[in-house]
Structure 1
Amino acid sequence: MITVAVGSKNPNKVRGTELAFRLAGFRVRVISTEPPNDLSPEPIGLSEIINGAIKRARYAINVVSNAEFGVGIEAGIIKIEGFNEGVDVTIATVIDKDGKVTLGMSPGFMVPRRFMKEVLQGVELNEVVSRYYGEPNVGRKYGLIGALTRRFIDRVVLNTEAVYMALIPRMPWNAELFKD
């Protein structure tokens, strides 16, 4: 059994990590850590999302002394030029003790314009969504994707997919393809 440290206390991220590693054939014990405190509350742009995920993964593997992998999961919005809506994506990074980082991404979906207006003014998406749906802390439950799909897809699914994609280069049958 291997120990995996996740840079989040969000149950959706912890569960998604556990599911992804198990689907990839790993027997794991997942330990969640508080994330570093210098993360953007609402990452906008691909590089900010990726850097947040990497920061979370590095922090987690350094905090949990016996961890073989650190996982960082960061959801954020990609603003596409000429397109009024933003696209919400989840990016996961997996880092090992040698410092090798692998990336994965979930499917993306459009964020309603009415939500984007507030997000671009600095309001965290979770706050906007929770207020709109009248339910506190939707982001720690099923997320905007769960609300928009009537729970057909939720945050655990997106987190699982992103982490699984980040594990592809680490799967034994792919090792030769991703060698340095």
Structure 2
Amino acid sequence: MKVVVGSKNPVKMKATGNVLKQIYSEVEVQAKNADSEVPNQPIGLETTINGAINRAKNVYTQEFDLSVGIESGLLETPHSITGYLDLQWCAIYDGDKTTLGVSAGFEYPPLVIKNVMKGMEVGDVMDRVTGIDRLGEKKGAVSHLSKGLLDRTSNTEQCVLMAMIPRMNQKLYFKK
């Protein structure tokens, strides 16, 4: 199984490999930058999902069995403190079908959302808040906010696994 991830973020590559190695006996995972064709800070369900799909499709070539696009974005959420939850979406593309999965969502502190609404990216604000440069390529904001109970790799693994469920159960999802 040869797979390409549409991002050079080491967390996304590691999470993809961790999940796929549990499903397939042999997996080779490569990473290549791919354009999401959405804003750097996606806000909204459709924008975030489209970013994941675009990453997967823009990095796909017939050299690979699967391509993976992962995009984090803010989803408007009624009754939450800030009005938004952060969710990671994964799109897996095989040249024909796209399957989707989503991670557990969490809420950023109000200061973060306030700055994002002024045009900053979540990652930049969280780097300032934590004092950790490139936090999103390391343990991630979710690890910092959950006091280490969930790190970004595990959170990303969730969306990859959820996107694989239809592929793991082809007879239930895809008619021949």
TM range (shorter): over 0.9
Equivalent position to 2:115, from 97, 118, 127: 118
Equivalent position to 2:174, from 165, 170, 179: 179
Equivalent position to 2:98, from 97, 101, 113: 101
Equivalent position to 2:157, from 155, 160, 165: 160
Distance 2:23 2:109 in 1: 34
Distance 1:83 1:169 in 2: 31
Q: Please say which of residues 147-156 and 7-16 is displaced more in the overlay.
A: 147-156
Structure 1 unaligned regions, length at least 5: none
CA deviation digits over 1:7-64, x for unaligned, max 9?
A: 00000000010011112235210010012174321111111110000000001113xx
Distance 2:66 2:36 in 1: 20
CA deviation digits over 1:104-158, x for unaligned, max 9?
A: 0111111111110011111000000000111111111111101112222111111
Aligned to 1:56: 55
Matched, 1:10 2:5: no
Aligned to 2:88: 90
Corresponding pairs, count:
174
Code of the residue aligned with 2:130 in structure 1: it is Y
Superposed CA RMSD in Å reads 1.4
Q: Where in structure 1 do 4 or more consecutive aligned residues deviate above 4 Å?
A: none
Code of the residue aligned with 1:177 in structure 2: it is L
- Cα offset, 1:84, TM superposition: 4.2
Code of the residue aligned with 1:46 in structure 2: it is L
Alignment check: 8 A CA contact 2:36 2:52 kept: no
Distance 1:161 1:23 in 2: 13
Aligned to 1:151: 148
Distance 1:91 1:165 in 2: 9
Distance 2:106 2:23 in 1: 25
Distance 1:80 1:89 in 2: 11
Return the TM-score normalized by structure 2: 0.93
Code of the residue aligned with 1:109 in structure 2: it is F
Return the TM-score normalized by structure 1: 0.91
Equivalent position to 1:77, from 67, 74, 78: 74
Structure 2 unaligned regions, length at least 5: none
